[in-house]
């Protein structure tokens, strides 16, 4: 399959890109700093420019987007706006714009995260963004009515990210990026829609 992958250079993205390539897929690897396929999903015009270049697709996967962390009182409107525009509206806009050039039966797989369902300190923006994204995936997948499939992968903290985020997740078992990547493979190659894969 020809797959557009946004966020392909990241911790999760690197593993997903490897897993999809190992399965024989033709992966268009995009991210903000990419030389060949640059895109910033928080900017709808940049998404449009990328899709124009990329052409017809069988699937889109996204492992991009970020949310600010901090005590809830300190997460101001600018912090909320950045998290919403990047991880929530960025991924939704990617699907909205890509759907017309994705073949019937093709799929979209987005990235969520455990903070949407488990509480941690400093994670209030991420909790709201992940929760909203998962609700949108369920609603939009139902509306797609079988023409396209739409799922999200919701990982716990990654083993590879423990040095960066481990202190936010005391007592949480971690997951290897390679295992998270298999959920993306399952979503792309399987038949599920409206699913949130908790890994």
Ligand X SMILES: NC(=O)c1ccc[n+]([C@@H]2O[C@H](COP(=O)([O-])OP(=O)(O)OC[C@H]3O[C@@H](n4cnc5c(N)ncnc54)[C@H](OP(=O)(O)O)[C@@H]3O)[C@@H](O)[C@H]2O)c1
- Using CB under 6 A as the criterion, which residues of the chain lie in contact with ligand X when the complex forms? 6-13, 31-33, 39-42, 63-67, 86-87, 90, 111, 113, 155, 157-158, 161, 165
Distance CA 82, CA 186 (A): 30
> Cβ of residue 26: shortest distance to ligand X, in angstroms?
19
Cβ proximity to ligand X, 9 vs 101, nearer residue: 9
Cβ proximity to ligand X, 106 vs 184, nearer residue: 184
Q: Is residue 107 a contact partner of residue 57, using CB atoms and an 8 Å limit?
A: no
Cβ proximity to ligand X, 106 vs 155, nearer residue: 155
H/E element, 82: helix 77-83
> Cβ of residue 99: shortest distance to ligand X, in angstroms?
18
Distance CA 57, CA 70 (A): 38
Distance CA 89, CA 86 (A): 6
> Cβ of residue 128: shortest distance to ligand X, in angstroms?
13
| Residue in 11, 7, 8 with CA at minimum distance from that of residue 176 | 11
Cβ proximity to ligand X, 151 vs 161, nearer residue: 161
> Cβ of residue 57: shortest distance to ligand X, in angstroms?
17
> Cβ of residue 41: shortest distance to ligand X, in angstroms?
4
Cβ proximity to ligand X, 67 vs 193, nearer residue: 67
Distance CA 46, CA 43 (A): 5
Q: Is residue 60 a contact partner of residue 94, using CB atoms and an 8 Å limit?
A: yes
């Amino acid at each position: 399959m020809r797959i557009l992958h946004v966020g392909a250079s990241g911790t999760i993205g690197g593993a997903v890109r490897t897993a999809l390539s190992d399965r024989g897929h033709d992966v268009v690897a995009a991210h903000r700093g990419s030389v060949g396929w640059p895109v910033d999903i928080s900017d709808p015009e940049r998404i449009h420019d990328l899709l124009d270049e990329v052409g017809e697709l069988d699937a889109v996967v996204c492992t991009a987007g970020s949310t600010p962390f901090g005590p809830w009182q300190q997460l101001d409107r600018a912090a909320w706006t950045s998290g919403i525009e990047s991880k929530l509206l960025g991924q939704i806009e990617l699907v909205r714009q890509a759907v017309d050039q994705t073949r019937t039966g093709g799929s979209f797989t987005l990235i969520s995260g455990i903070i949407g369902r488990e509480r941690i300190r400093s994670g209030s923006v991420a909790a709201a963004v992940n929760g909203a994204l998962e609700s949108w995936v369920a609603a939009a997948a139902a509306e797609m009515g079988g023409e396209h499939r739409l799922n999200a992968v919701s990982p716990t903290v990654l083993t590879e990210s423990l040095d960066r985020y481990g202190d936010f997740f005391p007592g949480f078992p971690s997951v290897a990026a390679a295992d998270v990547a298999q959920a993306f493979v399952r979503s792309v190659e399987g038949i599920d829609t409206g699913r949130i894969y908790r890994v």
